[in-house]
A and B are shown apart, each in its own frame.
Chain A
């Protein structure tokens, strides 16, 4: 029973982390209409960035404070160099260009950090955990990550519901042409949204880095699972991404307990079930 409880907690915490990555992906597609396969690479770069920065700053949270603006800046540069050429192109070319970016980022990672796994330390004041029973405890750091993700999710919802940028984003979710018709400089909006997406993926990579080792290709499973989340939640919907991510996190965790041999297939089965019932996702427009 304790094991199920721990797995459930892990599942929720994993789901919250995936939400950070998936929300970036769903925004970039919902507003800009760009399929960004290199999204996982930004998660990976976030994790490696945390590795290097933590060696200097000594604390993962300092690294976070430094890394996120860096990631945002990096997003601006990548948008300016590559992504802005894709707005009028079809899906196929977007897939191709962002796939080529993955090849490049992976190679850059190999040159800068090598191909051995590394680990990032949990800060001293978050060592240890909450005792759940005689034998089991739940680590403080995981609780901190979950709390951080919830806070960030709430902040995002606030921005989207209450601010000017949020209104534009909401308008873009429901009707992309509308945004252009409203006389908003879409170039600037797109650059901001893409950079925000990169920053979100990198944030997820940074806070996740002490949870598991940092290794080449760490972003790829995140990319795939983010896709699954976006499909389940409905493209462009932050609410859908949040719900989808939690669903996936819990399904994955329980799958590991009850169907250990096929645990990775559980989330795909869930996705198939949602698609059969609602081809446009839970909160999506009908496809």
Chain B
């Protein structure tokens, strides 16, 4: 999880802020304007980092909202009087946020490469809307004649015409935006966003409506970008369609990556460095000064002129070198110097693990379930009942349709036909997060935890799924219940307390699989669907996890796919054999062992292997 900024980062940021505060006392008009522009760009790029670095949505159309914010100031400004910033700011954010809601509701349906291209296309749509029509001057852009002021009645609080006042206002806006985002990513809401970034399927299986979360993050980022755009329009008092175009979107991505995506302060540094490099490369005199280190004044002036004319080439090369040499951006360097992050202390709650009472779990009934992929029928008319508080094993040769079966049960795939009833309620065809909310949790064949989170954070995320509203911004609601659920789950899944605050990526394979089960327990699931929980485990780990499964059946129903025959025959109360998508047999391990059809179709080879 995104940690609080390290002391070194705070020092750097405070030094930059101090410089900005002092600037009006010694800087000229140009320096003030430049600094103001960089700060506004900073707000824009950290809003983009919420999408790219936190939620993992690479938006290539973020300038749409920046540009809309800028145009909103034009729309709201009277021809020869100042607009009131008390109205202009909410208007900009509302306009950008509303458009983000509409665009996002389509764009967020897609992932990865599609999302990049779809956002790019929608950005271009906004661009051409202003470029092709006569709205606000069309191609030529439009002027905002008078800068906005903050006024209450006739009392003027702050006039954007005053360069120093405007700079201070933008600095305050930047600091507040940064603190807001820093707070946001550490709320339950932000935690889920980070979970989605690293493993969306898992978050959905835990019961989070990832679509709603992604959309919410898209709208927040859009509204913030709109705010930045409105401020930007107030610098020069000029708006043009190019503000919405893909170049602006691309430049913003550049700054985010250059600075280090996912750190929030990184993109801010990226914006500063990028702006400085661009300004230097554009300025013939500074380049001449650079070349005069190598040659005489006349030659240096000549070279400087040539390079300043074609400043895009060195800028492009600078960016390419940056990507190839420092994939983690400027923040990557700072983090290296800052040393190991300090982890927040675990909450001091001692749950009583000992008194685990028997609790009725859930039963699952499957009737005539069919799932076809085109002509291939992967699950073919399976009917079976998994009674509560038991361990149920599903076995069958490779390609028998076991994983497809579980995917249909958990909602990851829609059934082609048949019924699935959880506690007598039909759940067939529902979305995974809805199925999960009814108490059905699942794990995956490949280990599927959020790797950059600690074990405890992973469980906290799962516990949060008990109250999965996308609008949970406060840490305090349900805090105690959730913390208890986390501690209980860690203890129940056998994760040692000293391992709970280690990043999941540093846990052993067996521990990761245990963590997965812990997450399911923490999420409050009453029926666990486990896809090969023992895969890749040594004999000792296998023994530990099978014992754990037996214990868990006291208050859970467990359905697991497994290839380790010795383990599953020992651990399961019932076994279901699937062959070529059909139910071959269902019964106690003893019945299955004796079943002639099973021996012939499948167990024969196993029997020979196990007892040569």
Partner of A287, one of B112, B120, B124, B253: B112
| B133 on the A face (CB < 8 A) | yes
User: Chain A 247-272, CB within 8 Å of chain B: the 1/0 string?
Assistant: 00000000000000111110010011
The residues in B between 207 and 260 inclusive whose CB is less than 8 angstroms from any CB of A are 246, 250, 253-254, 257
A169 at the interface (CB under 8 A from B): no
CB-CB contacts below 8 Å: B93-112 with A: 106, 109-112
Q: Within 8 Å CB of B92, what residues of A? A: none
Inter-chain contact A96/B257, CB cutoff 8 Å? yes
Asked whether B125 lies within 8 Å of A268 as measured between CB atoms, the reply is: yes
- Measured CB to CB, the closest approach of chain A to B328, in angstroms, equals 10
Contact A264 B117 (CB under 8 A): no
Q: Are A91 and B116 in contact (CB under 8 A)?
A: yes
**Given the interface contacts A96-B254, A97-B323, A231-B121, does A264 sit within 8 Å of B310 by beta carbon?**
no
Cβ of A108 within 8 Å of any chain B Cβ, yes or no, is yes
Contact flag A99-B254 (CB < 8 Å), given A108-B313, A264-B128, A265-B125: yes
Given A104-B312, A107-B312, A279-B109; A92-B261 close (CB under 8 Å): yes
Is the beta-carbon distance between A95 and B132 smaller than 8 angstroms?
Answer: no
Q: Does A42 contact B (CB under 8 A)?
A: no
- Please name the residue on chain A nearest to B253 by beta carbon: A95
A97–B322 CA distance with the chains assembled, in angstroms:
9
Q: Which residues of B contact A103 (CB under 8 A)?
A: 312-313, 315-316, 319
Q: Which of A35, A37, A103, A235 has the most CB of B within 10 A?
A: A103
B261 to chain A, nearest CB (A): 6
Name the A residues within 8 Å of B323 (CB-CB): 89, 93, 96-97, 100
Q: Which residues of A contact B112 (CB under 8 A)?
A: 91, 287
A29 at the interface (CB under 8 A from B): yes
CB contacts (< 8 Å) of A96 on chain B: these are: 253-254, 257, 319, 323
A276 lies within 8 A of chain B by Cβ: yes
For B132, the chain A residues whose CB sits under 8 A away are 261-264
A213 contact set on B, CB distance < 8 A: none
| Residue A174 lies at the interface, judged by CB distance under 8 Å to chain B | no
Q: Which A-chain residue is minimally distant from B315 (CB atoms)?
A: A103
Interface range on chain B (Cβ under 8 Å from partner) = 35 or more
Q: State whether B310 touches A235 (Cβ < 8 A).
A: no
CA gap between A108 and B310 in the complex, in Å: 8
* A82–B208 CA distance with the chains assembled, in angstroms: 40
- Evaluate contact between A275 and B313: CB separation under 8 angstroms: no
In chain A, positions 5-51 with a C-beta closer than 8 Å to chain B are 29, 35, 37
Q: Are A107 and B113 in contact (CB under 8 A)?
A: no
Taking CB atoms, residues of chain B closer than 8 Å to A92 are 52, 58, 253, 257, 261
- Among residues 86 to 145 in chain A, which have CB atoms less than 8 Å away from a CB atom of chain B? 89, 91-93, 95-97, 99-104, 106-108, 110-111
A193 located at the interface, meaning its Cβ lies under 8 Å from any Cβ of chain B in the complex: no
Whole-angstrom CA separation of A276 from B540 in the bound complex = 49
Chain A residues with CB under 8 A of B44: none
Contact call A101/B114, Cβ cutoff below 8 A? no
Q: Does A179 contact B (CB under 8 A)?
A: no
A224: Cβ under 8 A from any B Cβ: yes
* Nearest Cβ on chain B to A88's Cβ, whole angstroms: 10
How far, in angstroms, from A29 to B113 measured CA to CA in the complex?
A: 9
Residue of B nearest to A281 (CB): B114
- With known contacts A91-B116, A224-B246, A276-B109, A100–B319 Cβ distance under 8 A: yes
Interface residues of A in 209-229 (CB under 8 A from B): 220, 224, 227-228
- Residues of A near B106 (CB, < 8 A) are 272, 275-276
A253 vs chain B, min Cβ distance (A): 16
A85 in contact (CB, < 8 A): yes
A243 interface residue per 8 A CB criterion: no
Residue of B nearest to A106 (CB): B312
The interface residues of chain A lying within 8 Å CB-to-CB of B253 are 92, 95-96, 99
Q: How far is the CA of A268 from the CA of B52 in the complex (A)?
A: 23
Contact between B121 and A224 (Cβ–Cβ < 8 Å)?
Answer: yes
Choice from A261, A263, A279 contacting B110 with Cβ under 8 Å: A279
CB-based nearest A residue for B111: A287
A82 to B320, CA, bound (A): 8
A241 is an interface residue with CB less than 8 A from chain B: no
A271 to B106, CA, bound (A): 10
Contact B316 A101 (CB under 8 A): yes
Query: Does B601 reach chain A (CB closer than 8 Å)?
Result: no
Residues of A near B317 (CB, < 8 A) are 100, 104
A265 to B312, CA, bound (A): 31
CA–CA, A253 to B60, complex, Å?
Answer: 26
Whether A97 lies near B320 (C-beta < 8 A) is yes
Q: Give the CA-CA distance A265 to B106 in the complex, in Å.
A: 15
Cβ of A230 under 8 Å from chain B: yes
- Asked whether B22 is an interface residue with its Cβ less than 8 Å from the other chain, the reply is no
Contact partners of B319 in chain A: CB under 8 A: 96-97, 99-100, 103
Residue of B nearest to A81 (CB): B320
Which B residues lie within 8 Å of A287 (CB)? 110-112, 114
* Chain A residue at smallest Cβ distance from B250: A99
Report yes or no: A268 in contact with B122, Cβ–Cβ below 8 A: yes
Q: Are B60 and A95 in contact (CB under 8 A)?
A: yes
Closest approach, in angstroms, between the C-beta of B532 and any C-beta of chain A?
A: 21
Query: Across the interface, which residues of B come within 8 angstroms of A268, CB to CB?
Result: 121-122, 124-125
Determine how close the nearest CB of chain A comes to the CB of B286; give it in whole angstroms.
Answer: 19
A263 CA to B59 CA, complexed, in Å: 24
A99 surroundings in chain B (CB, below 8 A): 250, 253-254, 319
- Interface residue from A107, A228, A281 paired with B316 (Cβ < 8 Å): A107
CB distance from B392 to the nearest CB of A (A): 29
- A230 near B324 (CB under 8 angstroms)? no
- For residue B399, CB closer than 8 A to chain A, the reply is no
B113 touches A279 (CB 8 A): no
Give chain B nearest CB distance to A272 CB in angstroms. 5
Cβ contact within 8 Å between B313 and A227: no
Identify 18 new A-B residue pairs, CB closer than 8 A, beyond the known A100-B316, A100-B319, A224-B246.
A29-B113, A37-B250, A92-B253, A92-B257, A95-B116, A97-B324, A99-B250, A100-B315, A100-B320, A101-B316, A103-B316, A104-B316, A231-B118, A235-B113, A265-B128, A279-B114, A280-B114, A287-B114
